[in-house]
Structure 1
Amino acid sequence: MDIKSLVRTVPNFPHEGIMFRDITTLLKDGEGLKETMRLFKERYENMEFDYIAGIESRGFIIGAALATMLGKGFIPVRKKGKLPAEVISVEYQLEYGTDVLEIHKDALEKGDRVLLMDDLLATGGTAFGAIELIEKLGAEVVEFAVIVDLPELKGIEKLEAKGHKIFKLMEFDGL
C-alpha cells in the first residue's frame, strides 16, 4: 500500500511559500493508518526499550497506538501549561520562532529507554527539545521515529550529527 499518497499537501500553510504535509488524511484512511502502524510495529516489536513518548499532538496518536500494540507505557511530551503535575520545561527553536515543551518530572527514571515519536521531522527543533527533556530525567532516547521527513530542512542530519538514531516512513522534497 502506498501510504505516501495519503498525505495531503497544503500550499502556503502556515506561511506563504510553505508546503505543509498534512497526515490527517492518512490518519482518516483506515487501511492507511493500519499499514502505518504495521510498519512501526514491524520496526519496533523486537527492539529493547521501556516506554514510548509522543510529542504533542500528532505524536500522541501514533505513539499511543504503537504503545498499545507493543504493551508499553506512553509518555506525553506537551506544550507549555497542559500537564497537571510538576513539570520540567525546555524552550526550543521552531522553523517560525520558539516554543516550550514540558514533561512530568516523574514521567521517567534514570536508565529508562525511550522510543520518541512524532508525525513529521523538519528542522529538528521540536525533536531536540523533547530529547533534552527526556535526557534531563536521566532517560535515553533509543530512536526518534516519524512518519514524514522533510530532508531539505536537514533535521535528520542535525540529529544524527549529535548521535541520535532516526527512523522515517517517508520523505517529501520541498518546503
Structure 2
Amino acid sequence: MTTRVMLISPAAGDARREVRFDDDGPLGAAGLRRARAAAATLPAAARTFVSPSLRCRMTADELGLTPAPEPAPAGCTMGRWRGRTLAEVADADPADVAAWLSDPGFTGHGGESLRQLCDRVEGWLTGLAADPGRVTAVVEPDVVRAAAVCALGARVEAFWRLDVRPLTSTELSGRSGRWNLGLGCALGAA
C-alpha cells in the first residue's frame, strides 16, 4: 500500500521577508488570511504533523488542522545564527556563509549541517512509509527541500537549487523507500 505525504510550507512571516534565520516569529496578517482561505482545500489525512516553530503551528491552526507536534520535521538548527539576518551574518562571518553555502557538512555556526538535516528528514520519511495512508505535515521550507532531495536521491548540494514558496504543498507518494515527487502547488489552486 502507498503512503502519501503532503508537505505544506508555512504562510509568510516577517523572518522570511527579512531573509532572517528563523527566529520563531509569528505569521504576518496576509499570511494568516491566505492560510485561512486555503483551509477547506486540504484532503483528509489519517495522520497530521506540524514542525515545532510558531509559524508552522499558526499555519496549521489557520488551515483547521489539529496535528500532533513532531520534532523530527523541525527546520534546520542554525546555532548562533538563529534570529540574525543573512546580511548580518555575511557581514560578520563571510567565510562561514561561503562555507555553509558550499559544504553540506558545515556546522561552523554551531547548528546542524544540511547533510544532517537531510538524513534526519529521510529517517522521518522512512518511518512514515512504514504505515501506509495519507499524511499531512506543515513543515519549514528547508524540510521540504530536504524531503525533495531525499525523494529524488539527489546530492545534498541540490538543496540550494530548490525554491519553496510560502503556503504551497509538495507531495511525496511511495512505498518501500521509493518516493515519487509532486512539486509545490499553491494551496487552493485547481
Structure with more relative contact order (C-alpha pairs < 8 Å, separation 6 or more): 2
Q: Which of the pair is proportionally richer in strand?
A: 1
Q: Which of the pair is proportionally richer in helix?
A: 2
TM range (shorter): 0.3 to 0.5
| TM-score (norm: length of structure 2) | 0.39
